[in-house]
């Protein structure tokens, strides 16, 4: 008999989600208004602190798109973007017909390399166009080098869009991810640490940006009794049912962070004496990762595909790391700054099952495959 599938990062319901969905039905607020939306936003504002204004949206991708709109990114503008990421980070640049400029990662956090960033900025300025925004990512939940990147952002006066889609619960020097950007983004897609089914938030630093975000997310209706529109808007607001799921999920966030970090300890124990496998971990105590996904790098020409297929034969899902944007057919021909560290990581890396509902039995099955392969 085939063993039950172990997924990479499946949804994990907390218990109260159905209660909040029921509230939405009971009050007949099932669309883009309602108490779940208000409560979800308020709770996130409290959780994030640091003067955060939260706008709940239909996806993280929508939030990144709106963030760039709010920063007045237009056709032909340069937008700097971490290359090592999921495609949703970069696509909104093309939605706006702007020009992505990709930047490599550094080896400690796998996120944006400050030196390559500065090189990219200087190049753009030489071309006569200062970049309109820098999109940072906290990949797999690991915070980027916040101090270094923010210093560059300040020096050149280029705003940061912080894509912390994967990093709810992560912190840098004790401050939550999602509070570092001029505008920040978190995703609640089904595979993320908590989910709304589909959804995301845009986090801004003042009330006027929030109200403009809300305006653009709800079709940009002018303040008239009739339907009058002076600029282009979107249908990007979250609904009260999804927000109900989010409310229930948020109550279990601390638990889920603990569980993900326990998964990391488990893998650490597994591979600590291996010559072939290195587990990606925080470089020092400034970086607190939610370890959304645990990732390994295989050494000595050990094949990631061989290991992936061993797992797959045992009905265990693993995945390659994100394929960098500068290596994607979609982004062929766009500029890239750096030494292709992210390409090297992609060649050698694998994501391992990291769900918060990973059982001891699942861990034992994963151990068995790893043991056989490593030693």
Ligand X SMILES: *Cc1c(COP(=O)(O)O)cnc(C)c1O
> Interface residues with ligand X (CB under 6 A)?
59-61, 85-86, 88-89, 137, 163, 165-166, 187, 189, 200
CA distances to 79, 160, 257 from 54, in Å = 23, 17, 21
Q: Minimum CB separation from ligand X for residue 274, in Å?
A: 27
- Active-site residue among 145, 192, 210, 304? 192
Q: Which of 23/172 has CB closer to ligand X?
A: 172
* Alpha-carbon dihedral sign for residues 30, 36, 40, 42: positive
Give the shortest CB-371-to-ligand X separation in angstroms: 30
Q: Residue 4: is it exposed, middle or buried by C-beta count within 10 angstroms (0-12/13-18/19+)?
A: exposed
The residue among 183 and 369 lying less far from ligand X, judged by its C-beta, is 183
Closest CA to 194 of 48, 47, 292: 292
* Rg, Å, the chain Cα set: 21
Which position's Cβ is nearest ligand X?
A: 60
Burial of 225 (0-12, 13-18, 19+ CB in 10 A): exposed
Closer to ligand X by Cβ: residue 89 or 362? 89
CB of 91 to ligand X, least distance (A): 9
The reply to whether 192 belongs to the active site is yes
Kindly state the smallest distance separating residue 162's Cβ from ligand X, in Å.
11
- To 10 degrees, what angle do helices 60-70 and 207-217 make? 120
CB 71 → ligand X: shortest distance, Å? 17
Residue with Cβ nearer ligand X (137 or 348): 137
- Strand locations in the chain (E): 53-57, 78-82, 99-103, 133-137, 160-163, 171-172, 175-176, 183-187, 200-204, 277-279, 287-288, 294-298, 319-320, 336-337, 349-352
Alpha-carbon distances, residue 140 vs 179, 277, 295, 354 (angstroms): 17, 18, 8, 11
When the beta carbons of 88 and 370 are compared against ligand X, the nearer one is: 88
Using CA atoms, how far apart are residues 9 and 355, in angstroms rounded to an integer? 4
Catalytic residue ranges: 192
């Amino acid at each position: 008999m085939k063993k039950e599938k172990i997924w990479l990062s499946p949804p994990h319901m907390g218990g109260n989600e159905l209660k909040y969905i029921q509230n939405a039905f009971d009050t007949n607020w099932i669309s883009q208004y309602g108490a779940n939306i208000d409560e979800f936003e308020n709770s996130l504002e409290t959780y994030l602190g640091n003067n955060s204004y939260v706008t709940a949206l239909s996806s993280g991708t929508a939030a990144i798109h709106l963030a760039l709109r709010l920063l007045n990114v237009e056709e032909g503008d340069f937008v700097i973007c971490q290359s090592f990421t999921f495609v949703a980070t970069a696509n909104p640049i093309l939605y706006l017909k702007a020009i992505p400029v990709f930047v490599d990662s550094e080896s400690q956090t796998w996120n944006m390399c400050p030196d390559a960033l500065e090189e990219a900025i200087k190049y753009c300025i030489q071309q006569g166009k200062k970049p309109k925004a820098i999109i940072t990512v906290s990949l797999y939940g690991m915070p980027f080098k916040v101090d270094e990147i923010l210093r560059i952002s300040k020096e050149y006066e280029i705003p940061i869009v912080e894509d912390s889609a994967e990093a709810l619960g992560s912190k840098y020097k004790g401050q939550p991810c999602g509070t570092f950007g001029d505008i920040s983004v978190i995703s609640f897609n089904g595979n993320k640490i908590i989910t709304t089914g589909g959804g995301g938030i845009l986090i801004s630093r003042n009330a006027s940006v929030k109200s403009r975000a809300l305006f653009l997310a709800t079709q940009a209706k002018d303040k008239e009794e009739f339907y009058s529109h002076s600029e282009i808007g979107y249908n990007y607001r979250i609904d009260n049912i999804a927000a109900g799921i989010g409310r229930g999920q948020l109550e279990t966030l601390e638990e889920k962070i603990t569980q993900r970090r326990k998964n990391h300890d488990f893998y650490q124990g597994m591979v600590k004496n291996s010559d072939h496998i290195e587990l990606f971990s925080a470089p020092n105590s400034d970086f607190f990762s939610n370890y959304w996904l645990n990732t390994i790098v295989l050494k000595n020409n050990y094949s990631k595909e061989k290991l992936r297929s061993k797992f797959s034969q045992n009905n265990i899902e693993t995945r390659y790391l994100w394929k960098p944007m500068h290596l994607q057919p979609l982004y062929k021909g766009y500029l890239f700054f750096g030494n292709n560290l992210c390409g090297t990581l992609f060649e050698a890396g694998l994501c391992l099952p990291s769900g918060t509902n990973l059982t001891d039995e699942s861990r034992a099955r994963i151990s068995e495959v790893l043991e056989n392969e490593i030693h």
